[in-house]
A and B are shown apart, each in its own frame.
Chain A
Amino acid sequence: MLGGIDYFVVIVYMAGIMLLGLYFKKFIHSSQDYFLAGRMMPFWAIGMSIVVSDIGAQDFVAVSGQAYRFGIAVGNFDWIGSVPAMLLAAFIFVPYFWKAGLYTIPEYLGKRYNDAVRVIASVNWIIFFAFNLGIIFWASALVLKTLMGWDTWFSIIVTAIVVGIYTLFGGLTAVVMTDVVQMIIMFIGGAAVVFLGFYNVGGWDGLLEKMSAMGPDYQNRFNLILPVDTKTPFPWTGILFGLTFVMANAYMIGNQAVVQRCLSAKNEWHAKASMIWGAFLKMFIPILVLFPGMIASVTHPGLEDGDGAFPTLIGTLLPPGLGGLLFAALLAGLMSSIDSMLNSTATLWTKDIYQRFLKKQAPDRHYLFVGRVATLVLLVLGVITSPISSRYEGIYVAVQTYLSFFQGPTFSVLLLGIFWRRTTQWGGLSGLVGGLIVSLLLHIYSAKLFTISDPFLYISWWSFVAGFIITIVVSLFTAPHPYERLQGFVYRLDKPKINL
């Protein structure tokens, strides 16, 4: 539980972030300002924003919980599950998206394929973000309940109000710039827990020694690479094929919340650099979220629910005064994730659905208004749907399982779309839909088909393979796109530069 000084730190932090976010309201005059920060963002802010948006309070809880149960192998998600994909995004995909002046990834799919592909991709992301909002709210409320003794609904509503106000008025500029502050606070708070945790168990050697003494079940806890027949969800084949080749790329290249930030870069170099800088920062995330779980497995073995490892550890570890800092760090993770999803979902709705199909020729201020209304509606929806996540055993796995449904098929059409000019609109549509059906079938029959628990890595790989093959086969049997239609949307097929 927190003391008086901790409450002061938390209140100052929340008020400060809200005021900082509101400050950027004065820069919002158009829908481009609101959704793409006026395309004026520097690489360092975008990189920091990408990292902090990707990790929330739910990661501190759920990744620590996974590390508590399975060990360091969960770190694969932020190491090999990020760096190669972010480099591919930086050097191939992001420059083309940026040069095309896009607002959304589905917009690329619409221009490269057709409107049906665009709508399917956009609706998928809207549904995911809407449900994920609820999951984040609920996971964070669990932490706040343990730490502060706050009522679950009170925690959810307070954070919703603070984040909602600055995201609603300040748009992507407010989101990115508050993320910069939030990343610094999150790193400081997270590092404090890791430092105190290691001090508590006698440093790195102490952790190794204590874990070795816990028996044969703990021998693999320091192995990033686990055998094919492991009973954890992280066999090396799943990490390589499912995570590295598919999920990571789909997440870093096809995720609107990530790529939208790069599209707000002030020029092409900043767009590329933001991803590479973000990849560097991302490599420190496992240290912050993973080691607390491993330390808790030594200091508090036998917890019924692994997701309780992080709250239990900090409940017994932190001296008075540091509680407020850590709480601010958790709030930073929470708020940065929520503001990203709100802004990105509002962008998807406004640009891919509303402006494209419902009202095409309205004044720009109208789309700015629609974006703000969408933000508000989503916030309310996220709060209302938050209790749904309590039905899932592991919060993090639940999110990954949902992602695996459409990550594979979406990445297959993105990859073929940018690298293979022969890919046609009907190939892309068939690959996306066919891949989604395969995902669904694999999930329904997962108990019979897969031998590991939570086979989301394998499902994403095989649905990618299905989408890839279907796209190629159907493309070969349908008419190719004219050269002019592909310019600017296929690698090394740039639009001709006009010299004035």
Chain B
Amino acid sequence: MFNGLQYVLNFEWLTGVGMSTSKNIFLILFVVIGILVLLIPKDYIYEGVENRRWWHNLKLWAIGDLAFIFITYYIF
């Protein structure tokens, strides 16, 4: 019984996934998060701001964060 559980719990069923594929999974994850951020309604982003400026757009901040981490994982 423990052998079957070990197979599932340790993700041994993913052993066949190559290192380059697994790296791409991480990179795709960052891209998907970026797309979701871009889909957030504008008014929701600016909630609480009285005089809107371009730098109040938190989508830009988030995309900056994601770009940084994407490059890090792309390199290493």
Chain B positions within 8 Å of A241 at CB level: 11
Chain B interface residue count, CB cutoff 8 Å, equals: 38
Given A91-B40, A269-B47, A451 and B61 contact (CB-CB distance below 8 Å): no
Asked if B26 and A225 make an inter-chain contact with CB atoms under 8 angstroms apart, the answer reads yes
Given A80-B73, A451-B10, A225 and B61 contact (CB-CB distance below 8 Å): no
| Chain A interface size range | 35 or more
A269 partner, pick from B23, B30, B56, B64, beta carbons under 8 A: B56
Asked if B12 and A228 make an inter-chain contact with CB atoms under 8 angstroms apart, the answer reads yes
Asked if A225 and B58 make an inter-chain contact with CB atoms under 8 angstroms apart, the answer reads no
A458 partner, pick from B9, B30, B44, beta carbons under 8 A: B9
A283 partner, pick from B9, B15, B72, B76, beta carbons under 8 A: B72
Q: How does the 8 Å CB contact mask read for B1-15 relative to A, with 1 for contact and 0 for none?
A: 010011001111011
Q: Which of A163-171, A179-187, A274-282, A475-483 sits within the interface?
A: A274-282
Task: Answer yes or no: A219 CB below 8 A from chain B CBs.
Answer: no
Task: Answer yes or no: A224 CB below 8 A from chain B CBs.
Answer: yes
Task: Answer yes or no: B25 CB below 8 A from chain A CBs.
Answer: yes
Q: Which of A82-90, A117-125, A330-338, A389-397 sits within the interface?
A: A82-90
Most chain B CB within 10 A, of A225, A240, A442, is at: A225
Task: Answer yes or no: B62 CB below 8 A from chain A CBs.
Answer: yes
Given A83-B66, A269-B46, A72 and B76 contact (CB-CB distance below 8 Å): yes
Asked if B48 and A450 make an inter-chain contact with CB atoms under 8 angstroms apart, the answer reads no
Chain B positions within 8 Å of A223 at CB level: 19, 76
Asked if B48 and A267 make an inter-chain contact with CB atoms under 8 angstroms apart, the answer reads yes
Asked if B65 and A279 make an inter-chain contact with CB atoms under 8 angstroms apart, the answer reads yes
Q: How does the 8 Å CB contact mask read for A442-469 relative to B, with 1 for contact and 0 for none?
A: 1000001111100100100010000000
Chain A positions within 8 Å of B68 at CB level: 280, 283
Asked if B29 and A87 make an inter-chain contact with CB atoms under 8 angstroms apart, the answer reads no
Can you list 29 contacts pairing A with B, beta carbon distance less than 8 Å? Answer: A79-B72, A79-B73, A84-B30, A84-B33, A87-B33, A87-B62, A87-B65, A87-B66, A91-B37, A91-B58, A223-B19, A223-B76, A225-B23, A225-B26, A225-B73, A228-B10, A237-B11, A237-B14, A240-B29, A244-B29, A270-B48, A272-B58, A273-B61, A442-B9, A448-B2, A449-B6, A449-B9, A458-B9, A462-B9
User: Which residues does A use to contact B, with CB under 8 Å?
Assistant: 72, 79-80, 83-84, 86-87, 90-91, 95, 222-225, 227-229, 235-238, 240-241, 244, 267-273, 276-277, 279-280, 283, 442, 448-452, 455, 458, 462
